[in-house]
Chains A and B, each alone.
Chain A
Amino acid sequence: MHNFDFVKPSTIAEAVKALSDGDAQALSGGQTLLPSMKQRLAAPGTLVSLTGIAEMKGVCKGDGGLHIGAATPHAVVAREAAAHYPALAALAGGIGDPAVRSRGTIGGSIANNDPAACYPAAVLASGATVVTNKRQIAADDYFQGMFTTALEEGEIVIEVRFPIPQKAAYVKFNQPASRFALTGVFVAKFGDGVRVAVTGASNNGVFRWTEGEKALSSSFSADAVKGLSVDPAEMISDLHGTPEYRAHLVKVLTGRAVAQANG
Protein backbone atom coordinates (compact mmCIF):
# COMPACT_ATOMS: atom_id res chain seq x y z
CA MET A 1 0.00 0.00 0.00
CA HIS A 2 1.24 3.49 -0.77
CA ASN A 3 1.08 6.15 1.89
CA PHE A 4 -2.11 8.16 2.05
CA ASP A 5 -3.83 10.70 4.24
CA PHE A 6 -7.05 9.86 5.96
CA VAL A 7 -9.93 12.16 6.81
CA LYS A 8 -13.23 11.30 8.38
CA PRO A 9 -15.68 14.18 7.93
CA SER A 10 -19.00 14.25 9.78
CA THR A 11 -21.00 16.16 7.17
CA ILE A 12 -21.65 15.72 3.49
CA ALA A 13 -20.39 19.23 2.77
CA GLU A 14 -17.05 18.50 4.41
CA ALA A 15 -16.80 15.23 2.53
CA VAL A 16 -17.52 16.88 -0.80
CA LYS A 17 -14.94 19.53 -0.05
CA ALA A 18 -12.33 16.97 0.89
CA LEU A 19 -13.04 15.09 -2.30
CA SER A 20 -12.56 18.15 -4.46
CA ASP A 21 -8.84 17.54 -4.26
CA GLY A 22 -8.24 15.48 -7.39
CA ASP A 23 -6.10 12.97 -5.54
CA ALA A 24 -8.75 12.15 -2.95
CA GLN A 25 -11.08 9.19 -3.05
CA ALA A 26 -14.16 8.23 -1.11
CA LEU A 27 -13.83 5.30 1.26
CA SER A 28 -16.92 3.55 2.46
CA GLY A 29 -16.67 -0.05 3.70
CA GLY A 30 -13.30 -0.49 2.02
CA GLN A 31 -14.06 -4.04 0.94
CA THR A 32 -13.28 -3.24 -2.66
CA LEU A 33 -10.99 -0.24 -2.37
CA LEU A 34 -8.63 -1.50 0.34
CA PRO A 35 -7.72 -4.77 -1.39
CA SER A 36 -6.86 -2.88 -4.54
CA MET A 37 -4.76 -0.42 -2.55
CA LYS A 38 -2.95 -3.30 -0.89
CA GLN A 39 -2.14 -4.64 -4.31
CA ARG A 40 -1.02 -1.15 -5.31
CA LEU A 41 -3.57 -1.04 -8.09
CA ALA A 42 -5.09 2.08 -6.50
CA ALA A 43 -3.11 4.77 -4.72
CA PRO A 44 -5.29 7.69 -3.65
CA GLY A 45 -3.46 10.52 -1.88
CA THR A 46 -6.29 11.02 0.59
CA LEU A 47 -9.03 8.68 1.71
CA VAL A 48 -12.22 10.42 2.64
CA SER A 49 -14.18 8.13 4.90
CA LEU A 50 -17.94 8.38 4.52
CA THR A 51 -18.82 6.24 7.48
CA GLY A 52 -18.81 9.07 10.03
CA ILE A 53 -21.60 10.96 8.29
CA ALA A 54 -24.79 10.28 10.23
CA GLU A 55 -27.22 11.18 7.43
CA MET A 56 -25.59 8.65 5.13
CA LYS A 57 -26.38 5.76 7.42
CA GLY A 58 -29.48 3.82 8.26
CA VAL A 59 -32.62 2.31 6.81
CA CYS A 60 -35.94 4.15 7.02
CA LYS A 61 -39.33 4.42 5.35
CA GLY A 62 -39.86 7.63 3.43
CA ASP A 63 -41.71 9.19 0.53
CA GLY A 64 -39.75 7.27 -2.02
CA GLY A 65 -40.30 3.91 -0.32
CA LEU A 66 -37.39 2.51 1.63
CA HIS A 67 -34.48 4.91 2.01
CA ILE A 68 -31.10 3.44 2.66
CA GLY A 69 -28.11 5.59 3.51
CA ALA A 70 -25.18 4.97 1.17
CA ALA A 71 -22.82 4.16 4.04
CA THR A 72 -25.12 1.53 5.53
CA PRO A 73 -23.40 -1.85 5.76
CA HIS A 74 -24.97 -4.90 4.16
CA ALA A 75 -25.52 -6.54 7.54
CA VAL A 76 -27.64 -3.61 8.71
CA VAL A 77 -29.72 -3.70 5.55
CA ALA A 78 -30.16 -7.44 5.96
CA ARG A 79 -31.53 -6.85 9.43
CA GLU A 80 -33.45 -3.62 9.15
CA ALA A 81 -34.95 -3.90 5.68
CA ALA A 82 -36.36 -7.34 6.38
CA ALA A 83 -39.73 -6.12 7.60
CA HIS A 84 -40.20 -3.67 4.71
CA TYR A 85 -38.53 -5.19 1.70
CA PRO A 86 -37.65 -8.82 2.40
CA ALA A 87 -36.15 -9.53 -1.03
CA LEU A 88 -33.72 -6.64 -0.64
CA ALA A 89 -32.81 -7.71 2.88
CA ALA A 90 -32.21 -11.25 1.69
CA LEU A 91 -29.95 -9.98 -1.09
CA ALA A 92 -27.90 -7.97 1.40
CA GLY A 93 -27.69 -11.00 3.69
CA GLY A 94 -26.30 -13.09 0.84
CA ILE A 95 -23.38 -10.84 -0.02
CA GLY A 96 -19.93 -12.22 0.81
CA ASP A 97 -19.35 -13.38 4.35
CA PRO A 98 -20.09 -11.85 7.76
CA ALA A 99 -16.90 -9.77 7.75
CA VAL A 100 -17.69 -8.32 4.32
CA ARG A 101 -21.30 -7.66 5.27
CA SER A 102 -20.42 -5.80 8.40
CA ARG A 103 -18.10 -3.40 6.54
CA GLY A 104 -19.22 -3.27 2.91
CA THR A 105 -21.92 -0.76 2.04
CA ILE A 106 -24.63 -0.24 -0.52
CA GLY A 107 -23.10 3.06 -1.63
CA GLY A 108 -19.73 1.47 -2.22
CA SER A 109 -21.33 -1.36 -4.11
CA ILE A 110 -23.30 0.75 -6.55
CA ALA A 111 -20.52 3.33 -6.94
CA ASN A 112 -18.18 0.54 -7.90
CA ASN A 113 -20.77 -1.19 -10.11
CA ASP A 114 -18.94 -4.48 -10.37
CA PRO A 115 -20.61 -6.44 -13.19
CA ALA A 116 -21.12 -9.36 -10.79
CA ALA A 117 -22.32 -7.41 -7.76
CA CYS A 118 -25.73 -8.01 -6.23
CA TYR A 119 -27.02 -4.58 -5.27
CA PRO A 120 -27.10 -3.14 -8.80
CA ALA A 121 -29.71 -5.78 -9.68
CA ALA A 122 -31.93 -4.70 -6.78
CA VAL A 123 -31.52 -1.01 -7.54
CA LEU A 124 -32.32 -1.44 -11.21
CA ALA A 125 -35.18 -3.93 -10.79
CA SER A 126 -36.76 -1.79 -8.10
CA GLY A 127 -36.52 1.32 -10.26
CA ALA A 128 -34.79 2.96 -7.31
CA THR A 129 -33.52 6.50 -7.21
CA VAL A 130 -29.89 7.18 -6.47
CA VAL A 131 -29.56 10.38 -4.48
CA THR A 132 -26.20 12.13 -4.66
CA ASN A 133 -24.87 15.33 -3.20
CA LYS A 134 -25.90 17.04 -6.46
CA ARG A 135 -29.01 15.38 -7.84
CA GLN A 136 -31.35 12.44 -8.02
CA ILE A 137 -30.61 9.83 -10.65
CA ALA A 138 -33.07 7.19 -11.83
CA ALA A 139 -31.63 3.68 -11.73
CA ASP A 140 -32.20 3.34 -15.47
CA ASP A 141 -29.84 6.26 -16.04
CA TYR A 142 -27.39 5.46 -13.26
CA PHE A 143 -25.77 2.20 -14.40
CA GLN A 144 -23.77 2.74 -17.56
CA GLY A 145 -21.80 -0.48 -18.06
CA MET A 146 -19.18 -2.45 -16.14
CA PHE A 147 -17.64 -0.34 -13.39
CA THR A 148 -19.24 2.73 -14.99
CA THR A 149 -21.98 4.91 -13.51
CA ALA A 150 -23.50 8.35 -14.02
CA LEU A 151 -21.48 9.66 -11.08
CA GLU A 152 -19.23 12.55 -11.91
CA GLU A 153 -15.81 13.27 -10.48
CA GLY A 154 -16.18 14.01 -6.78
CA GLU A 155 -19.90 13.23 -6.70
CA ILE A 156 -20.99 10.94 -3.90
CA VAL A 157 -23.97 8.74 -3.39
CA ILE A 158 -25.87 9.82 -0.29
CA GLU A 159 -28.84 7.54 -0.29
CA VAL A 160 -30.77 5.05 -2.37
CA ARG A 161 -34.58 5.20 -2.41
CA PHE A 162 -36.32 1.96 -3.22
CA PRO A 163 -39.97 1.86 -4.23
CA ILE A 164 -41.35 -1.25 -2.56
CA PRO A 165 -42.78 -3.77 -5.00
CA GLN A 166 -45.78 -6.01 -4.35
CA LYS A 167 -43.66 -9.06 -4.83
CA ALA A 168 -39.96 -9.51 -5.40
CA ALA A 169 -37.12 -11.98 -5.18
CA TYR A 170 -33.44 -12.16 -5.96
CA VAL A 171 -31.87 -15.44 -7.03
CA LYS A 172 -28.13 -15.55 -7.27
CA PHE A 173 -26.18 -18.37 -8.86
CA ASN A 174 -22.77 -18.28 -7.22
CA GLN A 175 -19.56 -18.02 -9.12
CA PRO A 176 -17.86 -20.93 -7.33
CA ALA A 177 -14.70 -19.08 -6.27
CA SER A 178 -15.74 -15.53 -5.42
CA ARG A 179 -19.36 -16.35 -4.72
CA PHE A 180 -20.33 -13.13 -6.41
CA ALA A 181 -23.09 -13.66 -8.95
CA LEU A 182 -22.10 -15.85 -11.87
CA THR A 183 -25.54 -14.67 -12.85
CA GLY A 184 -28.14 -13.14 -10.57
CA VAL A 185 -31.67 -12.06 -11.32
CA PHE A 186 -33.84 -9.66 -9.35
CA VAL A 187 -37.52 -9.72 -10.21
CA ALA A 188 -39.84 -7.00 -8.88
CA LYS A 189 -43.59 -6.90 -9.50
CA PHE A 190 -45.23 -3.51 -9.21
CA GLY A 191 -48.84 -2.50 -9.82
CA ASP A 192 -47.89 -1.20 -13.25
CA GLY A 193 -45.66 -4.02 -14.40
CA VAL A 194 -42.70 -6.22 -13.71
CA ARG A 195 -39.03 -5.27 -13.79
CA VAL A 196 -36.29 -7.85 -14.22
CA ALA A 197 -32.67 -6.91 -13.65
CA VAL A 198 -29.77 -9.23 -14.38
CA THR A 199 -26.29 -9.03 -12.89
CA GLY A 200 -23.17 -11.11 -13.45
CA ALA A 201 -24.07 -12.01 -16.99
CA SER A 202 -23.39 -9.15 -19.34
CA ASN A 203 -20.34 -7.40 -20.64
CA ASN A 204 -22.36 -4.23 -20.21
CA GLY A 205 -22.95 -4.75 -16.51
CA VAL A 206 -26.36 -4.94 -14.91
CA PHE A 207 -29.23 -4.80 -17.41
CA ARG A 208 -32.98 -5.18 -17.69
CA TRP A 209 -34.32 -8.22 -19.44
CA THR A 210 -37.14 -6.46 -21.21
CA GLU A 211 -38.48 -9.49 -23.00
CA GLY A 212 -38.82 -11.27 -19.69
CA GLU A 213 -40.44 -8.20 -18.17
CA LYS A 214 -43.02 -8.12 -20.93
CA ALA A 215 -43.92 -11.76 -20.52
CA LEU A 216 -44.08 -11.52 -16.74
CA SER A 217 -46.12 -8.35 -16.82
CA SER A 218 -48.87 -10.25 -18.56
CA SER A 219 -48.47 -13.38 -16.46
CA PHE A 220 -46.36 -13.37 -13.32
CA SER A 221 -45.55 -17.05 -13.30
CA ALA A 222 -42.37 -19.05 -13.76
CA ASP A 223 -43.86 -20.64 -16.85
CA ALA A 224 -44.22 -17.27 -18.55
CA VAL A 225 -40.52 -17.14 -19.40
CA LYS A 226 -40.10 -20.81 -20.31
CA GLY A 227 -40.57 -20.27 -24.01
CA LEU A 228 -38.24 -17.28 -24.22
CA SER A 229 -34.59 -17.32 -25.05
CA VAL A 230 -31.90 -14.88 -24.11
CA ASP A 231 -29.37 -13.66 -26.65
CA PRO A 232 -25.86 -14.70 -25.58
CA ALA A 233 -24.21 -12.09 -27.81
CA GLU A 234 -23.37 -9.60 -25.05
CA MET A 235 -22.79 -12.14 -22.31
CA ILE A 236 -19.57 -12.58 -20.37
CA SER A 237 -17.21 -15.40 -21.25
CA ASP A 238 -14.75 -16.45 -18.56
CA LEU A 239 -13.37 -19.57 -16.95
CA HIS A 240 -16.58 -20.05 -14.98
CA GLY A 241 -19.07 -19.96 -17.81
CA THR A 242 -19.71 -19.39 -21.48
CA PRO A 243 -22.03 -16.70 -22.86
CA GLU A 244 -24.53 -19.43 -23.75
CA TYR A 245 -24.49 -20.76 -20.22
CA ARG A 246 -25.07 -17.33 -18.74
CA ALA A 247 -27.87 -16.61 -21.21
CA HIS A 248 -29.47 -19.88 -20.16
CA LEU A 249 -29.09 -19.02 -16.48
CA VAL A 250 -30.85 -15.69 -16.98
CA LYS A 251 -33.96 -17.56 -17.98
CA VAL A 252 -33.70 -20.30 -15.36
CA LEU A 253 -33.02 -17.87 -12.53
CA THR A 254 -35.79 -15.53 -13.63
CA GLY A 255 -38.22 -18.42 -13.44
CA ARG A 256 -36.90 -19.34 -10.00
CA ALA A 257 -37.10 -15.76 -8.78
CA VAL A 258 -40.70 -15.52 -9.91
CA ALA A 259 -41.55 -18.80 -8.21
CA GLN A 260 -39.88 -17.56 -5.05
CA ALA A 261 -41.63 -14.18 -5.21
CA ASN A 262 -44.94 -15.97 -5.56
CA GLY A 263 -43.98 -17.96 -2.45
Chain B
Amino acid sequence: MSQAGTTVTWAAQVLGGTKVFGSGEAEVRALDGVTVGFEQGRFTAIMGPSGSGKSTLVQCAACLDRLTAGRVIIGDVDATNLDERRLTRLRRDRIGFIFQQFNLLPTLTARENITFPADLAGRRPDQAWFDHVVDAVGLRDRLDHRPSELSGGQQQRVAVARALVGRPDVIVADEPTGNLDSNSSAEILDFLARATAEYGQTVVMVTHDPVAAARADRVLFLADGRIVDDLVGPTRELLLERMGTLAR
Protein backbone atom coordinates (compact mmCIF):
# COMPACT_ATOMS: atom_id res chain seq x y z
CA MET B 1 0.00 0.00 0.00
CA SER B 2 1.21 3.51 -0.78
CA GLN B 3 2.62 5.23 2.22
CA ALA B 4 2.44 8.78 0.78
CA GLY B 5 0.20 9.57 3.75
CA THR B 6 -1.04 13.10 4.10
CA THR B 7 -0.39 14.23 0.54
CA VAL B 8 -2.67 11.57 -0.94
CA THR B 9 -6.45 11.97 -1.30
CA TRP B 10 -8.48 8.78 -1.52
CA ALA B 11 -11.36 8.49 -3.94
CA ALA B 12 -12.50 5.34 -2.16
CA GLN B 13 -11.24 3.31 0.77
CA VAL B 14 -12.03 -0.07 2.25
CA LEU B 15 -10.85 -0.43 5.83
CA GLY B 16 -10.60 -3.89 7.36
CA GLY B 17 -13.22 -5.12 4.90
CA THR B 18 -14.53 -8.61 5.55
CA LYS B 19 -17.30 -10.26 3.57
CA VAL B 20 -18.74 -13.63 4.51
CA PHE B 21 -21.28 -15.48 2.39
CA GLY B 22 -23.45 -18.22 3.81
CA SER B 23 -23.06 -19.68 7.26
CA GLY B 24 -21.94 -22.82 9.03
CA GLU B 25 -20.67 -25.52 6.70
CA ALA B 26 -21.31 -23.40 3.62
CA GLU B 27 -19.52 -20.35 4.96
CA VAL B 28 -17.28 -18.58 2.43
CA ARG B 29 -14.95 -15.79 3.50
CA ALA B 30 -14.75 -13.85 0.22
CA LEU B 31 -12.89 -10.90 1.75
CA ASP B 32 -10.75 -11.35 4.80
CA GLY B 33 -9.84 -8.06 6.42
CA VAL B 34 -8.84 -6.13 3.34
CA THR B 35 -7.63 -2.57 3.80
CA VAL B 36 -7.07 -0.64 0.60
CA GLY B 37 -7.36 2.90 -0.71
CA PHE B 38 -7.86 3.99 -4.29
CA GLU B 39 -5.97 7.15 -5.01
CA GLN B 40 -7.72 9.99 -6.73
CA GLY B 41 -6.82 10.46 -10.38
CA ARG B 42 -5.21 7.05 -10.63
CA PHE B 43 -6.02 3.99 -12.70
CA THR B 44 -5.87 0.95 -10.41
CA ALA B 45 -6.16 -2.63 -11.64
CA ILE B 46 -7.06 -5.60 -9.47
CA MET B 47 -5.84 -9.05 -10.41
CA GLY B 48 -6.02 -12.46 -8.87
CA PRO B 49 -7.17 -16.00 -9.48
CA SER B 50 -10.84 -16.76 -10.03
CA GLY B 51 -12.71 -16.83 -6.74
CA SER B 52 -10.11 -14.74 -4.97
CA GLY B 53 -12.66 -12.04 -4.10
CA LYS B 54 -11.99 -9.43 -6.78
CA SER B 55 -15.64 -8.90 -7.67
CA THR B 56 -16.63 -8.90 -4.05
CA LEU B 57 -14.06 -6.26 -3.26
CA VAL B 58 -15.11 -3.85 -5.98
CA GLN B 59 -18.82 -4.48 -5.34
CA CYS B 60 -18.37 -3.57 -1.71
CA ALA B 61 -16.06 -0.65 -2.50
CA ALA B 62 -18.71 0.63 -4.92
CA CYS B 63 -21.48 0.24 -2.36
CA LEU B 64 -23.34 -2.32 -4.43
CA ASP B 65 -23.12 -4.73 -1.52
CA ARG B 66 -22.44 -4.29 2.16
CA LEU B 67 -19.44 -5.62 4.03
CA THR B 68 -19.94 -8.11 6.82
CA ALA B 69 -17.38 -6.14 8.82
CA GLY B 70 -15.17 -3.11 8.16
CA ARG B 71 -15.77 0.29 6.65
CA VAL B 72 -16.17 1.80 3.22
CA ILE B 73 -15.41 5.47 2.64
CA ILE B 74 -16.20 7.20 -0.63
CA GLY B 75 -14.37 10.52 -0.91
CA ASP B 76 -15.10 12.10 2.46
CA VAL B 77 -18.29 10.18 3.12
CA ASP B 78 -18.38 7.13 5.37
CA ALA B 79 -20.77 4.85 3.46
CA THR B 80 -20.68 2.00 5.95
CA ASN B 81 -23.84 2.84 7.80
CA LEU B 82 -25.76 4.86 5.24
CA ASP B 83 -29.36 3.85 4.73
CA GLU B 84 -30.47 2.37 1.46
CA ARG B 85 -31.74 5.65 0.02
CA ARG B 86 -28.58 7.59 0.77
CA LEU B 87 -26.45 4.75 -0.43
CA THR B 88 -28.34 4.73 -3.73
CA ARG B 89 -27.83 8.48 -4.09
CA LEU B 90 -24.18 8.08 -3.32
CA ARG B 91 -23.85 5.47 -6.06
CA ARG B 92 -25.81 7.58 -8.47
CA ASP B 93 -23.77 10.75 -7.93
CA ARG B 94 -20.29 9.52 -7.11
CA ILE B 95 -19.73 6.14 -8.69
CA GLY B 96 -19.77 4.96 -12.30
CA PHE B 97 -20.10 1.32 -13.29
CA ILE B 98 -18.93 -0.84 -16.12
CA PHE B 99 -19.81 -4.51 -15.87
CA GLN B 100 -18.64 -7.42 -17.92
CA GLN B 101 -22.04 -7.85 -19.52
CA PHE B 102 -25.60 -6.68 -19.28
CA ASN B 103 -24.56 -3.11 -18.83
CA LEU B 104 -27.39 -1.43 -20.65
CA LEU B 105 -31.14 -1.27 -20.37
CA PRO B 106 -32.37 -3.02 -23.49
CA THR B 107 -35.40 -0.79 -23.97
CA LEU B 108 -33.49 2.49 -23.98
CA THR B 109 -31.37 3.91 -26.78
CA ALA B 110 -27.64 4.50 -26.37
CA ARG B 111 -28.24 8.18 -25.65
CA GLU B 112 -30.89 7.44 -23.06
CA ASN B 113 -28.69 4.83 -21.44
CA ILE B 114 -25.89 7.36 -21.14
CA THR B 115 -28.09 10.00 -19.53
CA PHE B 116 -30.08 7.58 -17.40
CA PRO B 117 -28.32 8.28 -14.08
CA ALA B 118 -28.86 12.02 -14.62
CA ASP B 119 -32.48 11.22 -15.41
CA LEU B 120 -32.80 9.33 -12.16
CA ALA B 121 -31.43 12.30 -10.30
CA GLY B 122 -33.75 14.63 -12.20
CA ARG B 123 -30.77 16.54 -13.65
CA ARG B 124 -30.00 17.65 -17.18
CA PRO B 125 -26.60 16.34 -18.26
CA ASP B 126 -23.91 18.88 -19.09
CA GLN B 127 -24.37 19.01 -22.88
CA ALA B 128 -20.83 20.12 -23.77
CA TRP B 129 -19.30 17.38 -21.63
CA PHE B 130 -21.78 14.85 -23.01
CA ASP B 131 -20.77 15.78 -26.57
CA HIS B 132 -17.14 15.59 -25.68
CA VAL B 133 -17.43 12.13 -24.14
CA VAL B 134 -19.60 10.80 -26.95
CA ASP B 135 -17.12 11.98 -29.52
CA ALA B 136 -14.24 10.60 -27.51
CA VAL B 137 -15.74 7.11 -27.48
CA GLY B 138 -16.87 7.49 -31.10
CA LEU B 139 -20.57 6.92 -30.59
CA ARG B 140 -21.87 10.05 -32.29
CA ASP B 141 -23.69 8.19 -35.06
CA ARG B 142 -24.93 5.37 -32.84
CA LEU B 143 -26.75 7.41 -30.20
CA ASP B 144 -30.26 6.49 -31.29
CA HIS B 145 -29.63 2.77 -31.53
CA ARG B 146 -30.85 0.22 -29.07
CA PRO B 147 -28.29 -2.04 -27.34
CA SER B 148 -29.47 -4.96 -29.45
CA GLU B 149 -28.44 -2.99 -32.54
CA LEU B 150 -24.90 -2.45 -31.27
CA SER B 151 -21.87 -4.74 -31.28
CA GLY B 152 -20.42 -5.94 -28.00
CA GLY B 153 -17.60 -3.39 -28.23
CA GLN B 154 -20.02 -0.57 -28.97
CA GLN B 155 -22.22 -1.61 -26.03
CA GLN B 156 -19.21 -1.50 -23.74
CA ARG B 157 -18.33 1.96 -25.10
CA VAL B 158 -21.83 3.13 -24.22
CA ALA B 159 -21.25 1.85 -20.71
CA VAL B 160 -17.93 3.71 -20.54
CA ALA B 161 -19.61 6.88 -21.78
CA ARG B 162 -22.34 6.49 -19.19
CA ALA B 163 -19.76 6.17 -16.45
CA LEU B 164 -17.73 9.13 -17.70
CA VAL B 165 -20.62 11.52 -18.32
CA GLY B 166 -21.52 11.62 -14.64
CA ARG B 167 -17.92 12.64 -13.67
CA PRO B 168 -18.06 10.28 -10.70
CA ASP B 169 -15.49 10.21 -7.92
CA VAL B 170 -14.63 6.72 -9.04
CA ILE B 171 -15.42 4.42 -11.95
CA VAL B 172 -15.59 0.76 -11.04
CA ALA B 173 -15.21 -1.75 -13.84
CA ASP B 174 -15.47 -5.50 -13.28
CA GLU B 175 -13.77 -7.29 -16.17
CA PRO B 176 -15.08 -4.76 -18.69
CA THR B 177 -13.21 -6.39 -21.54
CA GLY B 178 -13.88 -9.98 -20.53
CA ASN B 179 -16.34 -10.56 -23.34
CA LEU B 180 -14.59 -8.56 -26.06
CA ASP B 181 -12.17 -9.31 -28.89
CA SER B 182 -8.66 -7.86 -28.56
CA ASN B 183 -9.34 -4.82 -30.75
CA SER B 184 -12.38 -3.76 -28.81
CA SER B 185 -10.61 -4.50 -25.53
CA ALA B 186 -7.74 -2.25 -26.50
CA GLU B 187 -10.20 0.55 -27.35
CA ILE B 188 -11.97 0.32 -24.01
CA LEU B 189 -8.71 0.23 -22.08
CA ASP B 190 -7.59 3.25 -24.05
CA PHE B 191 -10.65 5.20 -23.02
CA LEU B 192 -10.18 4.34 -19.39
CA ALA B 193 -6.48 5.17 -19.42
CA ARG B 194 -7.15 8.46 -21.21
CA ALA B 195 -9.89 9.36 -18.79
CA THR B 196 -7.38 9.11 -15.98
CA ALA B 197 -4.63 10.86 -17.85
CA GLU B 198 -6.69 13.67 -19.41
CA TYR B 199 -9.48 14.35 -16.91
CA GLY B 200 -7.99 12.96 -13.74
CA GLN B 201 -10.74 10.34 -13.51
CA THR B 202 -10.23 7.71 -10.83
CA VAL B 203 -10.69 4.20 -12.23
CA VAL B 204 -10.69 0.82 -10.50
CA MET B 205 -10.72 -2.15 -12.83
CA VAL B 206 -10.82 -5.90 -12.20
CA THR B 207 -9.11 -7.93 -14.89
CA HIS B 208 -7.10 -11.07 -15.36
CA ASP B 209 -5.53 -9.92 -18.58
CA PRO B 210 -1.94 -8.75 -17.93
CA VAL B 211 -2.08 -6.66 -21.13
CA ALA B 212 -5.02 -4.78 -19.70
CA ALA B 213 -3.49 -4.46 -16.25
CA ALA B 214 -0.28 -3.10 -17.74
CA ARG B 215 -2.20 0.04 -18.73
CA ALA B 216 -2.89 0.81 -15.08
CA ASP B 217 -0.86 3.02 -12.76
CA ARG B 218 -0.95 0.44 -10.02
CA VAL B 219 -1.95 -3.22 -9.73
CA LEU B 220 -3.23 -5.00 -6.64
CA PHE B 221 -3.07 -8.77 -6.36
CA LEU B 222 -5.75 -10.64 -4.43
CA ALA B 223 -5.70 -14.25 -3.23
CA ASP B 224 -8.17 -15.91 -0.87
CA GLY B 225 -9.76 -12.61 0.06
CA ARG B 226 -6.48 -10.89 0.97
CA ILE B 227 -4.25 -8.44 -0.77
CA VAL B 228 -1.01 -10.24 -1.45
CA ASP B 229 0.84 -7.81 -3.66
CA ASP B 230 0.81 -4.18 -4.74
CA LEU B 231 2.69 -2.99 -7.83
CA VAL B 232 3.10 0.63 -8.85
CA GLY B 233 3.93 1.38 -12.49
CA PRO B 234 3.67 -2.20 -13.68
CA THR B 235 4.96 -3.53 -16.95
CA ARG B 236 3.60 -6.56 -18.77
CA GLU B 237 6.69 -8.59 -17.99
CA LEU B 238 6.60 -7.71 -14.33
CA LEU B 239 2.96 -8.67 -14.14
CA LEU B 240 3.46 -11.99 -15.87
CA GLU B 241 6.25 -12.75 -13.46
CA ARG B 242 4.14 -11.88 -10.43
CA MET B 243 1.27 -13.94 -11.69
CA GLY B 244 3.64 -16.80 -12.12
CA THR B 245 4.86 -16.60 -8.52
CA LEU B 246 1.33 -16.23 -7.18
CA ALA B 247 0.03 -19.21 -9.10
CA ARG B 248 2.70 -21.38 -7.46
Chain A bound to chain B: no
